């Protein structure tokens, strides 16, 4: 990176550190912070959509659909979320390959599960055997995003379902008295009003989502945890220009600080949004704001 | 080999008693149920001890956070912030490598590099921080009249805390604390995936479920088994905490008694 870095053995102190922290591998570490942010940016809206779908399904008057929605909300109760992460990654992968297999190789006659193997035809492999490395990485990341979205969609469905219940019943009754259909009352009355009730739960969920991002490591994505372990381990002079002892503790300390800052900033921002949204609402919070101003 | 033989061989495998080698091929349903169940010993061990010991530290932290003196309040606030603001997964990693470094300097710390002690310490601090926040919130919502009544009876200091503040705080905090307990048990599944090694393949339930899923390449059997075990554990926790909840609320009229609602919101 810097011109004086050409011969690291002669360096010491801060100059050594500045060279050490700008090696190619460290750039990968910094880029993986981007991976985490990208995961958050993609997962949050998709999970919200899944959650909205789940919550609306749970409220449906069509009984099997409502069971489906309630089952979706219920899956995350009672079972550790990490078990779902490990489960969905393999299950989704096999589901996709199985789908492609049935479409692409209809005349395949061997069973798919042969003992301890899951065998699909070569054309159905995901990603294809000869695909470049970046396709493998993107596919892994895509699976991780989908897994996160399904699980956090269930959490969000739970929050939104509660928020829909919290909208005063009289509001919907009034809408029906005006002759609105069930569907109109839902979209025009219920949905616009539910967000203020949902926001505390959703901001909690955002914090939980931030704190779940290191689990990407378990899904096989090269994220910050992966790089912290790689870079922190003992390095001998044989393999690197920057030999050092076991520094993993410092790397994970840095990750700890990163997450603390991230959650703190989120907390402050979400607090501001909440203050703005409660302004003028007929809730306890809105009343407190009115009294404080008066 | 019948299922009873398998149970005899593997029921205590996770604590190192019984057959040394894990099954390598021809996995039967019985083997999976037995081994994953055997792993639950660790989950229950971590959860129970961390919960019981964390309860006391949490009470102390909640008191400290409510204190007027900044000397007490600030450290408690920071402790709670650090453990609630960062992912448990990273805390495990950091603690493991911290203990490794400490071990090189002071050999006293060597037990802490193994899961049974090291992960327990992290879980103990973690649940203390989360519970302290719950207790602190409950302490803030103790009705003013209760404290005033205690003052009117001439109670202060320790008797007032022991007979008025503490029971009321527990009563108000109990539903949230039940959730905390449930999610602490769920969090124990992270231990063997975060640095702490499973020596001689003695791991927890998720460790074995993952082992079977990797070997058979079929996630649809081990993970549902694991889910069943955890649902049973969750129901047991709800039952036990419900009994305590009844006792805490026994002086209230029937209708006012708080019921515990399970809210799946506390993932770490």
Inside any domain, residue B33? yes
Q: Do B227 and A83 touch (CB under 8 A)?
A: yes
What average pLDDT does range B125-137 have in this prediction?
A: 94
Inside any domain, residue A215? no
Q: Do A118 and B226 touch (CB under 8 A)?
A: no
User: Which of A3-17, B40-54, B201-215 shows the lowest per-residue confidence on average (mean pLDDT)?
Assistant: A3-17
pLDDT in tens, A1-32: 677 777 777 777 777 888 888 887 888 888 88
Which chain A residues are closer than 8 Å to B129 by Cβ?
A: none
Inside any domain, residue B126? yes
Inside any domain, residue B264? no
Q: How many CB atoms lie within 10 A of CB B31?
A: 20
Contacts within 8 Å (CB) and 24+ apart, B76-84: B76/B132, B79/B125, B79/B128, B79/B129, B79/B132, B80/B129, B80/B132, B80/B133, B80/B136, B81/A260, B81/A264, B82/A256, B82/A260, B82/B129, B83/B125, B83/B126, B83/B128, B83/B129, B83/B130, B84/B129, B84/B130, B84/B133
Inside any domain, residue A260? yes
Q: Do B219 and A211 touch (CB under 8 A)?
A: no
Inside any domain, residue A228? yes
Inside any domain, residue B267? no
Give the nearest chain A residue to B190 (CA atoms). A82
Q: Do B98 and A259 touch (CB under 8 A)?
A: no
Give the nearest chain B residue to A114 (CA atoms). B216
Q: Which of A117, A158, A218 sits opposite B264 (nearest CB)?
A: A158
Q: Do B97 and A116 touch (CB under 8 A)?
A: no
pLDDT in tens, A42-77: 999 999 999 999 999 988 888 889 888 888 887 766
Q: What is the pLDDT of residue B267?
A: 45
Which chain B residues are closer than 8 Å to A213 by Cβ?
A: 87
Which domain range does residue B211 map to? 3-13+25-256
Residues 6 or more apart in contact with residue A130 via CB below 8 angstroms: none
Residues 6 or more apart in contact with residue B240 via CB below 8 angstroms: none
Q: Do B206 and A80 touch (CB under 8 A)?
A: yes
Which chain A residues are closer than 8 Å to B82 by Cβ?
A: 256, 260
How far does the CA of residue B4 sit from the closest CA of chain A (Å)?
24
Inside any domain, residue A197? no
Inside any domain, residue A45? no
Which domain range does residue A227 map to? 223-294
Per DSSP, B21 falls in state S
Inside any domain, residue A76? no
What average pLDDT does range B25-41 have in this prediction?
A: 89
ipTM of the assembly?
Answer: 0.86
Contact pairs from chain A to chain B, CB under 8 Å: 131
Q: Which percentage of chain B shows pLDDT scores above 90?
A: 49
Q: What is the pLDDT of residue B58?
A: 95
Count the domains in chain A. Answer: 1
* CA B115 vs CA A68, B53, B86: distances in Å: 39, 17, 20
Inside any domain, residue B159? yes
Q: Which percentage of chain A shows pLDDT scores above 90?
A: 16
Mean pLDDT in chain A?
Answer: 84
Q: Do A113 and B213 touch (CB under 8 A)?
A: no
Higher pLDDT pick, B243 / B199:
B243
Most confident range, picked from A234-243, A257-266, B246-255:
A257-266
Count the domains in chain B. Answer: 1
We report the CATH number of the domain holding residue B172 as 1.10.3720.10
* Res. A121: pLDDT tops 50: yes
How far does the CA of residue B91 sit from the closest CA of chain A (Å)?
7
Inside any domain, residue A229? yes
Which chain A residues are closer than 8 Å to B93 by Cβ?
A: 225, 228-229, 248, 252, 255
pLDDT in tens, A243-294: 788 888 899 999 999 999 999 999 999 888 888 877 766 666 677 777 887 7
């Amino acid at each position: 990176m810097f011109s004086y870095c050409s011969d690291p053995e002669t360096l010491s102190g801060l100059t050594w550190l500045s060279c050490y922290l700008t090696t190619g591998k460290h750039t990968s570490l910094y880029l993986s912070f981007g991976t985490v942010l990208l995961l958050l940016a993609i997962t949050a809206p998709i999970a919200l959509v899944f959650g909205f779908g789940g919550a609306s399904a749970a409220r449906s008057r069509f009984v099997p659909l409502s069971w489906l929605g309630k089952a979706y909300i219920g899956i995350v109760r009672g079972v550790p979320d990490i078990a779902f992460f490990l489960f969905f990654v393999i299950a989704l992968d096999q589901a996709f390959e199985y789908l492609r297999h049935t479409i692409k190789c209809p005349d395949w006659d061997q069973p798919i599960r042969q003992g301890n193997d899951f065998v699909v035809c070569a054309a159905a492999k995901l990603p294809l055997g000869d695909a470049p490395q970046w396709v493998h990485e993107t596919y892994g990341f895509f699976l991780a995003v989908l897994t996160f979205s399904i699980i956090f969609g269930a959490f969000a469905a739970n929050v939104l379902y509660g928020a829909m219940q919290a909208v005063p019943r009289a509001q919907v009754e009034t809408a029906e008295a005006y002759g609105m259909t069930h569907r109109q009352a839902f979209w025009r009355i219920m949905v616009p009003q539910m967000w203020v009730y949902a926001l505390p739960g959703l901001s909690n969920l955002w914090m939980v989502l931030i704190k779940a991002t290191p689990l990407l490591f378990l899904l096989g994505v090269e994220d910050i945890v992966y790089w912290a372990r790689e870079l922190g381990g003992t390095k001998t002079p044989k393999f690197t220009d920057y030999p050092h002892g076991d520094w993993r503790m410092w790397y994970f300390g840095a990750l700890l600080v990163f997450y603390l800052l991230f959650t703190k900033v989120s907390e402050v921002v979400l607090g501001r949004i909440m203050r703005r949204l409660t302004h003028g609402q007929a809730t306890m919070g809105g009343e407190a704001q009115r009294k404080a101003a008066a | 080999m019948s299922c009873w033989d398998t149970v005899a061989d593997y029921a205590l495998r996770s604590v190192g008693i019984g057959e040394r080698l894990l099954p390598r091929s021809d996995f039967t349903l019985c083997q999976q149920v037995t081994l994953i169940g055997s792993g639950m010993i660790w989950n229950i061990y971590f959860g129970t001890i961390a919960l019981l010991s964390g309860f006391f530290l949490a009470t102390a932290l909640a008191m400290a956070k409510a204190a007027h003196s900044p000397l007490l309040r600030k450290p408690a606030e920071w402790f709670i912030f650090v453990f609630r603001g960062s992912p448990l997964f990273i805390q495990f990693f950091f603690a493991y490598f911290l203990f490794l470094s400490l071990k090189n300097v002071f050999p006293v710390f060597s037990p802490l590099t193994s899961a049974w002690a090291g992960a327990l310490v992290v879980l103990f601090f973690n649940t203390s921080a989360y519970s302290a926040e719950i207790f602190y919130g409950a302490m803030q919502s103790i009705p003013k009249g209760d404290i005033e009544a205690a003052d009117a009876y001439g109670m202060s200091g320790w008797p007032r805390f022991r007979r008025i503040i503490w029971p009321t705080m527990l009563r108000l905090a109990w539903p949230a604390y039940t959730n905390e307990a449930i999610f602490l048990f769920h969090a124990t599944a992270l231990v063997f995936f975060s640095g702490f090694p499973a020596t001689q393949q003695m791991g927890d339930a998720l460790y074995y479920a993952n082992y079977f899923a990797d070997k058979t390449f079929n996630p649809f059997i081990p993970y549902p088994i694991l889910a069943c075990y955890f649902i049973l554990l969750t129901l047991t926790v709800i039952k036990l905490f419900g009994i305590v909840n009844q006792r805490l609320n026994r002086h209230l009229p029937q209708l006012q008694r708080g019921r515990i609602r399970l809210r799946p919101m506390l993932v770490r």
